[in-house]
């Protein structure tokens, strides 16, 4: 069975602070993909990144960075110099070859205060 845990239900930071959103996953498959999505108040889920299980290289995209560690089954997401527009619910998700479907975490509500 697949499982994704986002232990942080809500996080509040002040603008320009860095913030890390945690994601821990469980799967017995050796081939899998991990994702992060952003859901702003408008409701639409916006795809941010996909990472496959064979590529542990960390990735940076502007103020966003992702730290994938197979040893701890974690795929954490850091926003540097947060902005008010980063306020949203962020979901981590997992798909494996045997499951065929995305398994979502419960999401982390990030609020960035001005």
Residues engaged in binding other proteins (CB under 8 A): 33, 35, 37, 42-47, 50, 91, 95, 97, 100-102, 104-107
d(CA 9, CA 25) in angstroms, rounded, equals: 16
Nearer to other proteins, 80 or 111 (CB): 111
Considering the complex, state which of residue 42 and residue 57 has its C-beta at the smaller distance from other proteins.
42
Q: Which is nearer to other proteins, 8 or 105 (CB)?
A: 105
What one-character-per-residue DSSP string does 71-98 give? GGTEEEEEESS--GGG-EEEEEEEEETT
> Residue with structure tokens 């993909």?
33
Q: Per DSSP, what are the bridge partners of residue 42?
A: none
Q: Which is nearer to other proteins, 43 or 114 (CB)?
A: 43
Least spacing, CB of residue 92 vs other proteins, in Å: 11
Closest CA to 74 of 4, 2, 1: 4
- Shortest distance (Å) from residue 50 CB to other proteins: 5
């979502």: which residue's tokens? Answer: 104
Q: How far is the CB of 47 from other proteins (least distance, A)?
A: 5
């Amino acid at each position: 069975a697949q499982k994704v845990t986002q232990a942080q239900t809500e996080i509040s930071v002040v603008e320009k602070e860095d913030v890390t959103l945690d994601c821990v996953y469980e799967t017995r498959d050796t081939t899998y993909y991990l994702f992060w999505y952003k859901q702003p108040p408008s409701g639409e889920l916006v795809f941010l990144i996909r990472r496959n299980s064979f590529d542990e290289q960390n990735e940076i995209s502007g103020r966003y960075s992702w730290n994938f560690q197979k040893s701890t089954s974690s795929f954490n997401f850091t926003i540097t110099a947060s902005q008010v527009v980063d306020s949203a619910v962020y979901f981590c998700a997992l798909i494996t070859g045997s499951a065929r479907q995305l398994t979502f975490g419960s999401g982390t509500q990030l609020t960035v205060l001005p």
